[in-house]
């Protein structure tokens, strides 16, 4: 298999082909404590809110409306106070999303530029149909460039129905 055809397969891959179609949604009333447990339970790096905002693990680093207090007695907010905040207290409704037909190369560029690890995938009616993450892009790279990948073996098997070794 030539390098150019291998590269072409990745370059022609789209968000829809590699997104995770199973998306867990939560309400904006969920607390940070509950979200933390959901992240651990599901091993996701983002949850979709029913209002279409997104909360990701990296969002925990940018809590802007939390009660921060920088005094000589306290440098950070009390952990329990932060964990009792609801998503509605701190989420932003500005959301970047991708279309299912968006090339993975463009999704990857958005991830790098915006420092975001995953995006919701919305169809033309703005309905949530999946999430695409860094892990999905890495899987696409692996499957489109690895001659030993299950996808590549299926492709090779279909092009050689006799199973005879190539000459």
Strand positions, DSSP E, 27-93: 46-49, 54-56
| Numbers of helices and strands, H then E, in the chain | 8, 5
Q: Among the residues of 24-149, which ranges form H helices? A: 32-42, 79-83, 87-90, 104-114, 134-145
pLDDT given at position 137: 95
Separation of first and last alpha carbons in the chain: 14
pLDDT of residue 63: 39
Instruction: Please name the residue that has the structure tokens 């150019």.
Output: 4
Place of tokens 């299926």: 154
Nearest to 56 by CA among 77, 38, 29, 71: 38
Domains of the chain plus CATH, in order, are 3-63+76-146 (3.10.580.10)
d(CA 79, CA 135): 30
- Residue-by-residue pLDDT tens, the chain, 167 positions: 555 666 778 889 999 999 988 777 788 888 888 988 888 887 666 666 665 544 444 444 333 344 445 566 655 667 788 888 888 887 766 678 999 999 999 999 999 999 988 898 999 998 889 999 999 999 999 998 876 555 555 555 555 555 555 54
pLDDT at 86: 87
């Amino acid at each position: 298999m030539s390098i150019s055809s291998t590269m072409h397969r990745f370059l022609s891959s789209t968000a829809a082909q590699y997104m995770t179609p199973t998306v867990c949604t939560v309400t904006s009333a969920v607390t940070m404590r509950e979200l933390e447990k959901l992240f651990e339970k599901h091993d996701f790096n983002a949850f979709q809110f029913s209002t279409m905002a997104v909360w990701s693990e990296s969002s925990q680093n940018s809590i802007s409306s939390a009660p921060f207090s920088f005094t000589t007695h306290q440098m950070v907010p009390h952990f329990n106070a932060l964990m009792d905040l609801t998503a509605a207290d701190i989420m932003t409704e500005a959301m970047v999303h991708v279309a299912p037909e968006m090339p993975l190369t463009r999704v990857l560029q958005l991830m790098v530029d915006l420092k975001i690890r995953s995006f919701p995938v919305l169809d033309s009616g703005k309905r949530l149909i999946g999430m695409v993450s860094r892990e999905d892009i890495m899987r696409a790279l692996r499957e489109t460039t690895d001659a030993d990948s299950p996808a590549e073996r299926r492709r090779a098997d279909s092009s050689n129905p006799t199973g005879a070794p190539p000459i």
